[in-house]
Structure formats: structure tokens, C-alpha cells
Amino acid sequence: MQDTSLYRAWAEVDTAAMRHNLALVRRVLPSHKQMAIIKAEAYGHGITGVAKALDNEEIEFFGVATPSEAQKVSDAGCSTCPFILGPCFPAEREMIVQNGWRAALSSIEEAEHFNSLGRLYGKKVNLHISVDTGMGRAGLLPGNVPILADKLASYDHLNIEGVFSHLSAAADDISFTHRQIRSYEQSVAVLRERMDLPYRHLCSSSGVFNYNAPSTNMVRLGRILYGYSPMPSPHNRELQPTLTLYSRVTLLRTLPDNHGVSYNHTYVTTGPTKVATIGIGFGDGYLHYLSNTGARVYLNGSYCPVLGRVTMDQIMVDVSHMDKVQPGDIAEILGPNVPWEELTARAKTIPSNVITSITGRVPRVYKG
């Protein structure tokens, strides 16, 4: 493993835990293939490192958001094909066709353009039809699926390899989710009358343990791969966290009574207070929204509350209750003792927002 002795903030990524989480999903859904979602720097874990770690795991596709993320997968030398999850604007399509990456198909206009690019480069373009069963973000409305299906026969450079949709409220609205599943199943039936569709996928992390879409044969794994399940399930306790964010104490001081701490003095000491300054801030992804929320770090075996506002590069924590603290000591900022869920609740955001906020300044260290 890398030497971390000069790092002031770093994320340790446990790739063995990632493989464990993948194996768990495979045990629960043995007849489904998997797409591993590694967009947004693999949810903060680092896209290149995660792509390399999972490339030999017999995963069907790496789900990415953009062609530039797909390029990172290629540049890492991975053989797992990138799948671009959302729509792409016209100028992005050429590199998709040239590289043989997979893309979503949301409209007849896209189909025509991809087909002409396929002709230009003498390649079959592999696409998955995206159906908007209720997300309102991309895809064909279900009523337009038969219209596209009829046209597809005339596009000789397209290979329609799959059909998918995305659930919009799987963790919160079960009856709407069942409507989306029914709508998806209807579109799949319409399409399968006309073509072979080797890849059929609907559920991502909030769906895999809780819903069954009978025609599907692949799941898209984002958060669950990284140890977080958005819905209650007996399988959740078997998931393992995959990322621990660390930082170091840079300075220790005792501030006198009635001394403001950090910008705007939203915290003022109520007595002599031993304060440790820690080398992480919102410039590293420790959200500013965590200011004055009771957020805490785990340092030398005990919890230390964050005092006042989070700044760009530093936070201050109360260590008055501790006698053994020194500059250089390691604080756990996010990890087994300070779970993802805890920071999510305090920052009043969603889990993916916490984890994707870890910035490029933070080195990723891979183990396992």
C-alpha cells in the first residue's frame, strides 16, 4: 500500500469489501448479470482505481455518466466495456461509435444519428433502448416505444442490445415503483416481439433487494457496491463499507473562555478549551453543511465534536476530554466509526452527495 505518512487527508478504498458486496448481490440474484456503476469518480472512490480493481470480476459493463469517464476506463487498460447511462449530445456520439462503447437510446433522432455514424465508421453501434417509465429524465415515453421499434429495422448500423429504465422513488413509493415495473415489462414485451434483447435492466441499488422485474437479467450496482443500501433489507447487514476518509491533526492549542472558533464565531468557547485543528475542509469534500450540526470525528478512540464552521481546508474539533493527542495523529472523518449515513443526516442531504463530494485533492489509497 502507498505510504500515507505525508498525507493530511486521504481516502482508503477497500477493494476486497467491494468484491464482497458484489458477491452478496450475486448470491441474492444468481441469475442476473451486473453493471458496476463507476460514474462520478466511482462515488468518490476514484474511477481508475475502481475500474482496475473490478475489471476481472466478470462484470458485464462499467456504468459511467459521460464519454470522458468512458475514456478513463479505456485509458486504465480495462477490458470491461463502458456504458454511458444518460443521453449524449450530438458532438459526443462520434467517440462512442469509434470506441465501441455502449450508449442509451432515447429518441428517433439519436437512432438516426448513431446509424449514420455507424455507416461512416463501418461499425455496428450497440445501444440499449431507454424507456421513461416515470423518472422524467431520459428515454422514450412508453407510448413511443412501438414507433421506434418499427423504425429500427431500417437502421442497418444499429445493434439494439438491450432495454432499460430507471426507478424514480424505489425507496419511498412502493406502489409507484410497481407501476414503473409494469410499464417496463410492457415495453419489453413489445420490443421482444421484434428483436432479441440480450440485456434487460431496471433495478439499481434501491431495487435489487426489494423488487422483482420478471423480464430483467441484469442489475445496475452503484451505492450497494460501495456498501450502502438505500432500502431496508435483511441482506443490508452483510454489506461492508468500502471507503474510510482520514485526516490528521495539524495543531493543538488551548483557547481561553469566550473565544470564537472559525468564521462568524458561530461557536464561542464556554471555558478554556483544548482545540485540535485538522487538515480537511470543504475543499476536500467535508461538506460545509456539516457546520454546527453536531458533526464529529473519531480520533484516538474517541469522538470529538466539530466546533463552528467548516472552512475550505481545515476544521477545528474539541479535544478537551483527551490527554493523548498530538499533531500528526490520524482522525477518521468518514468510515466505520463515522458512517456515511450519519454525515448524510447531519448535512441534510442524500448519501451519494456526501461520498461524491470527496475532491481530487484527496489521494485514494487502495487495499485488498
Ligand X SMILES: *Cc1c(COP(=O)(O)O)cnc(C)c1O
Catalytic residues: 39, 263
* Residue 239 amino acid letter: L
Nearest-angstrom CA–CA distance, 272 and 17? 43
Tell me the window of 180-188, 204-212, 289-297, 324-332 that interacts with ligand X (CB under 6 A).
Answer: 204-212
User: What's the sign of the alpha-carbon dihedral 161, 166, 14, 233?
Assistant: negative
d(CA 287, CA 333): 11
Least distance in angstroms from the C-beta of 223 to ligand X? 4
Q: Report which of 69, 95, 98, 97 is spatially closest to residue 82, judged by C-alpha positions.
A: 69
- Spatial separation of the C-alpha atoms in residues 269 and 71, rounded to whole Å: 51
In the bound state with ligand X, the residue whose beta carbon lies nearer, of 191 and 208, is 208
Angle between helices 90-99 and 108-121 (to 10 degrees): 50
When asked if residue 82 is in the footprint of ligand X (CB under 6 A), the reply is no
Shorter beta-carbon distance to ligand X: residue 240 or 300: 240
For the CB of residue 357, give the shortest distance to ligand X in the complex, in Å: 15
Number of residues that bind ligand X (CB under 6 A): 12
Q: Which of 42, 70, 81, 85 binds ligand X (CB under 6 A)?
A: 85
- Kindly provide the residue ranges of all beta strands, DSSP E only, lying in the chain, ordered along the sequence: 9-14, 33-37, 61-64, 81-84, 102-105, 125-130, 158-164, 199-201, 218-221, 243-255, 260-261, 267-268, 273-278, 296-299, 302-307, 315-318, 330-334, 364-367
Residues in the chain: 368
Interaction of residue 166 with ligand X, rule CB under 6 A? yes
Please tell me whether residue 45 binds ligand X under the rule CB under 6 A: no
Find the shortest distance in angstroms from Cβ 156 to ligand X: 28
Which residue of 21, 106, 206, 357 would you call a contact of ligand X, by CB under 6 A? 206
Element (H, E) at 179: helix 174-192
Buried b (16+ CB within 10 A) or exposed e, 198-216: bbbbbbbbbbbbbbebebb
- Tell me the closest approach of the beta carbon of residue 162 to ligand X, in angstroms: 12
Q: How far apart are CB 83 and ligand X at their closest, in Å? A: 9
Which residue has the closest beta carbon to ligand X?
Answer: 222
Choices 199-207, 209-217, 254-262, 291-299 (CB under 6 A): range interacting with ligand X: 199-207
Q: Which is nearer to ligand X, 76 or 135 (CB)?
A: 135
**Sign of dihedral through CA atoms 152, 153, 159, 160?**
positive
Task: For ligand X, give the closer residue by CB, 209 or 246.
Answer: 209
Residue 163 binds ligand X (CB under 6 A): no
CB of 211 to ligand X, least distance (A): 13
Residues numbered 213 to 272 that lie near ligand X (CB under 6 A) are 220-224
Nearer to ligand X, 42 or 362 (CB): 42
* Shorter beta-carbon distance to ligand X: residue 49 or 222: 222
- Of 133, 187, 205, 291, the residue at the interface with ligand X (CB under 6 A) is 205
Q: What angle do CA 355, 64, 137 make, to 5 degrees?
A: 90
- Which region, judged by CB under 6 A, interacts with ligand X, from 4-12, 68-76, 89-97, 201-209? 201-209
Contact indicator for 130, 141 with CB cutoff of 8 Å: no
Give the nearest distance from C-beta 224 to ligand X in angstroms: 6
Query: What gap in Å lies between CA 66 and CA 103, rounded to an integer?
Result: 10
Out of 29, 37, 140, 299, which residue is the one contacting ligand X (CB under 6 A)? 37
- Report yes or no: 118 and 97 within 8 Å, Cβ to Cβ: yes
Contact call for residue 204 and ligand X (CB under 6 A): yes
- Measured from the CB atom, the residue of 189 and 350 that comes closer to ligand X is 350
List residues binding ligand X (CB under 6 A): 37, 39, 85, 166, 204-206, 220-224
